Chain A
Amino acid sequence: MIHEVVERALRVAGRYGLDEVEVYAVRSSTTDVVGTIRGLERVTSGERVDVGVRVVLGKRVTVQGGMVSRVEDVDPIVEAAAKVVRTLPEDPNWVSLPRKTGRTSVEGVIDPKLRSPDVGYFIEVVRYLLGRARDIDKRAYTSSASVRSTYVERVIVSSHGGPQVDEHTEVGVSVSIKAVDGTEESGYYDFYSATTLGRFNPEELVSRAVEVSVKTLGARRVDTGTYEVVLVPRVFANVVQALLVPAVSAESVQRGRSPLAGKLGSRVLSESLTIVDDGTYPELTGTRSFDDEGVPTSKKIVFDRGTLREYLYDTYTAYIDRRESTGNAFRQTPYSPPTPWITNILVEPGSGDLQSMVRDLRRGIVVYSTIGEWLSNPVSGLLNATVTNGVYVEGGEERFPVKGVVIAGNIYEAMGSPEVRLTATVESFARFRVPAVYIPKLTVAGK
């Protein structure tokens, strides 16, 4: 249906004397299986088609759209957009919709098992995750487990070219473990997220979750002070997403909302940090052949050994800086205006493994999970995250588990230290491929 929707929208738009039109349509089919300690909770399946229409008249622009039920539902969307755009003020920065559309060759974005999902298999996975924790450790049980599989087909066409068509699959498997020992309780959440089931290992997923959960039983707060901190890859990725990603968006830079404005070519992080945005990396969930406005995705070094090399652009922000889009247009929904955002983030590995990094700690905390790191302030660069699973280490020895403390500090000071180190081992999940990181100094608010 989405091809008909796109064709019809473009045809209808032709009646209104618009200068430029772009139609973006997404068909997504999802299957969800959710189980809890009491058994299978929900099996859900559905399909939706969402359409966004961006119309331009001179320098006036609007985006309208929504979930459509029938092909002819795009008519009022186009009509409303054509009507509204005439009433809007001009955007002095507007130049054009993308003129260089196209596609990059990408691999590992489709798993046939997810395109036509086997609900029975997903149920078995959920049942396995629900039952396995107790076998691994009597103190642990799985409070919930879920599988969500999605197949997405996208079409984009504009006055300047297309249609561009692509498809991808995505799967998320999650497990929440609770551990109880007498009056002590702990919990840990882990997940698998990728475009395929290729690397999915349910045993590995549940084992790791049980290990962390049991290991952090009896957690308590440490005294307020300054500590060395090790962030495991998932926590490190969350910190990068909360603080560095918004700061390298060209939109944030141009609008005065980034502490990295005017710092291209400057060293802003430790030399051990090389961070790449790569929209083509196999099996990561941000991999696409084109971005959300039809521009081919690409690979670019954002931080090169600590030096800021590149901001992320969509077409609108690229025109403002008189350059080309980096293929980083992202729409929160198909009917949202595009803004620059990451595709996938790859942090180049360092050396050694997590165990040796921990053994080198004099007085520090190994952080396995946090909550609230997304509440950090990318405008000021201030990190704030509450540790939910951590371990206090002294003289290289794990002493006791930690929770309920807040780790805080300016990310550029913390990550700018020459002592920052990374592990050689990396983890891939969702839009990230990152190692663990050692930060020599962070404030910890505790007792």
Chain B
Amino acid sequence: MLSRDLATQILDEVLRRGAEGAVVRLQERVYELVVYDSGVLRGYSISTVRGVGIRAVVGGGTGYAYTSSVDRESISRAIDRAISLARVASSYGRKSFAPVKPVKASYRVEFKVDPHAVDPQVKVGIVREINTTSMRRAGIVSAVTRLGLERDRRIVVASEGTEVEVDVVGVGLAHTAVARYGAIIERVGDRESYIGGFEHIERRDWLRFAEEIDELAIKASQAKTPTPGTYVAVVDNEVVGLLLHEAFGHASEGDGVVAGASILRGKVGERVASELVTIVDAGLVEGGYPVPYDDEGVPKGRTVVVENGVLKGYLNSRDTAYELGMEPTGNARAQDVSFDTLVRQTNYYAEPRDWRVEELFEGISYGIYLRGRGAMGGQVNPSVGTFTFSIGPSYIIRSGEPVELVRGVVVSGNILETLKEVDAVARDLKVTTSVFGGCGKGAQIVRVGDGGPHIRTRRIVVGGG
């Protein structure tokens, strides 16, 4: 069993062997996945990640080592390796960390029903019913339904005296339907995740959830692709989340900024978005993924990145904060103990304003309503600001009304242009997360949340078949 005591023992040993500073991370993560594919159970898997990660600082150099073996000998070897790598690194320069106040705290997600203790037959039964019902629906040729259940327990101790423990439980269900109409086949997928126990799975009407996805896939298979070009767009909560995460969030990560790889470098205090846009990164927000402390043990509060259109700061780890002369913001995160931390977003979203959603459509003679259901995700090149993402079936807007469904929609733009074009922000804030994926960077995936209210932008490039 991994414990805070074990972590502090390892930390003491790292310091005893000559490190001037250290962070020790222990982790145990259990992930359970049930997959039904087109009426057949294709997977019931349970996987566990368990191990120890050690960051040692020696002579200003930093080394990181990990081991999945928690026996005394393996841990001892990992300590030696971390120290040895730090010594090697020290001959190539020093790395400094912004000071932090030590924290001793625990955070635990409360739940009623332990998802991993529920009878496997119950879990399989839920997924089977959704999937087989979907496969019986006229027009659906293939359907994949997944139930994901996760518990991630992390302990972080640092030489400054920090000792934090975070225990997060999450559940979710994902459904992807493939519909055929003549020679056209189209897919639409969506997922819904909750932080908490299996009670969230029990109380949701998942048949209705899947039915909506199936019907959208059927309609999308009969829809046209949009005419490529530049559009006025109303953007729903989910696409706003994607857009902010990809288009702005990555460029605001401090490691990219200090590396000269972000288009936002040197732009603090400058206008980077419409004055209607305020963007925050918060560790704890309703609907999001809880990150009360990062993997350096630093509290993750609420970081205002953009306020009324002006860039206020970046997301920082302890070392990027030092480099940039800023405060650490609690954004040093790692997928698991086999990786040292990178600067990552937590829950990145736009603050709401006063518009009603209907008002955003008013006055648009021809435009597009960009919808997130069925979105595949996105990507950005933060050094030049170009972003792209694939979104779900959307609607062409004519005379202020979303009237015609279109499929295969991809949008693209530039960070510093797109958010300046925002001319209306609605009041309907919504943040979501997912236990099926997350944000990828440096070969690591971490859980994140994103979202915002509906917005309207005067100009966005839309590609399509």
Which A residues form the contact surface with B (CB < 8 A)?
1, 30, 36-50, 61-70, 73, 77, 80, 84, 87-89, 91-93, 119-120, 123, 127, 141, 143-144, 148, 176, 178, 185-187, 189, 221, 224, 255-257, 259, 333, 335-337, 371-372, 374-377, 379-380, 382, 384-386, 388, 403-410, 443-447
State whether B258 touches A47 (Cβ < 8 A): no
The answer to whether A403 and B384 have CB atoms under 8 Å apart is yes
Instruction: Determine the chain A residues whose CB is within 8 A of the CB of B61 once the complex forms.
Output: 40, 43
Q: How far is the CB of A368 from chain B (nearest CB, A)?
A: 12
B336 to chain A, nearest CB (A): 8
Question: B338: which of A38, A46, A92 is its contact (CB, 8 Å)?
Answer: A46
Q: How many A-B residue pairs have CB under 8 A?
A: 283
Is the beta-carbon distance between A66 and B88 smaller than 8 angstroms?
no
Residues A42 and B67 in contact, CB atoms below 8 Å apart? no
CB-contact partner of B229 in A84, A148, A224, under 8 A = A224
Bound complex: CA A46 to CA B81 (Å)? 8
Contact B384 A88 (CB under 8 A): no
Contacts A141-B260, A187-B383; A447 near B230 (Cβ below 8 A) = yes
Chain B residues near A447 (CB, 8 Å)?
A: 230
| B99 interfacial contact with A, CB 8 Å | no
The answer to whether A406 and B388 touch across the interface, beta carbons within 8 angstroms, is: yes
B267: min CB distance to chain A, Å: 12
CA of A148 to CA of B339 in the docked complex: distance in angstroms?
A: 12
**Considering the chains assembled together, what is the distance between the CA atoms of A224 and B35 in angstroms?**
42
CB of B45 within 8 A of CB of A408, answer: no
Given contacts A87-B119, A141-B260, A405-B412, contact A67 B45 (CB under 8 A): no
Contacts of A39 in B (CB 8 A): 92-93, 95
- What's the minimum C-beta distance from B151 to chain A, rounded to whole angstroms? 13
Query: Could you list 10 examples of A-B contacts with CB < 8 Å?
Result: A43-B61, A62-B44, A63-B43, A70-B70, A84-B44, A84-B46, A123-B92, A127-B92, A375-B376, A384-B464
A47 touches B229 (CB 8 A): no
Cβ contact within 8 Å between B408 and A382: yes
Instruction: Scan B249-285; emit 1 where CB is below 8 A from any A CB, else 0.
Output: 0000001101111010000000000000000000000
Main secondary structure of the interface of B (DSSP, over half): strand
B65 and A44 contact, CB distance less than 8 A: yes
**Could you tell me which B residues sit within 8 Å of A by CB distance?**
30, 35, 37-38, 40-51, 53, 61-71, 74, 78, 81, 85-86, 88-89, 92-93, 95, 119-121, 124, 128, 141-142, 144, 178, 180, 184-187, 225, 228-230, 255-256, 258-261, 263, 323, 338-340, 376-381, 383-384, 386-390, 407-408, 410, 412-414, 443, 461-465
Structural contact, B47 and A65, CB atoms closer than 8 A: yes
Known contacts A69-B51, A257-B187, A384-B410; 15 additional CB pairs below 8 A are A30-B338, A38-B323, A39-B95, A43-B64, A66-B49, A69-B69, A70-B71, A77-B48, A88-B120, A91-B42, A187-B383, A372-B379, A380-B408, A405-B412, A445-B229
Q: How far is the CB of B436 from chain A (nearest CB, A)?
A: 13
